[in-house]
């Protein structure tokens, strides 16, 4: 993830901003809950500390019912599933048109 953050122009200290933007991009897409299935694509090799803006926290909390409706097994971890899905989607550049 850190290399993608740097490649995207956020520098070594831009991880939190990059993740906030990733969450916005995910939640702005129609059918975003379909991407949760692939939410464990990348192995979590440790814990990361991030700071989310209040707006992003509110958006995530508002999205939790939709995620749980689509995947009831997420009831205890929907917030982290949304964040992981957003990170994975941004790393893999999901939601961007790749043909032109």
- Within 10 angstroms of residue 59's Cβ, the number of other Cβ atoms is 18
* Cβ atoms of 41 and 7 closer than 8 Å: no
Answering whether pTM is above 0.95, one says no
Of the candidates 39, 57, 35, 46, the one whose C-alpha atom is nearest the C-alpha of residue 2 is 46
Dihedral (Cα; 68, 26, 91, 42), 10-degree rounding: 0
- 32-64, pLDDT tens digit by residue? 998 887 555 555 666 778 899 999 999 999 999
Question: What pLDDT sits at residue 19?
Answer: 95
């Amino acid at each position: 993830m850190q290399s993608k953050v740097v490649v995207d122009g956020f520098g070594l200290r831009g991880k939190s901003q990059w993740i906030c933007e990733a969450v916005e991009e995910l939640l702005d897409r129609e059918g975003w809950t379909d991407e949760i299935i692939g939410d464990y694509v990348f192995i979590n090799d440790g814990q990361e500390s991030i700071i989310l803006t209040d707006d992003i926290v509110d958006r995530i909390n508002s999205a939790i019912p939709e995620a749980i409706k689509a995947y009831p097994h997420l009831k205890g971890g929907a917030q982290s599933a949304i964040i992981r899905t957003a990170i994975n989607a941004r790393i893999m550049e999901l939601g961007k048109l790749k043909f032109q």
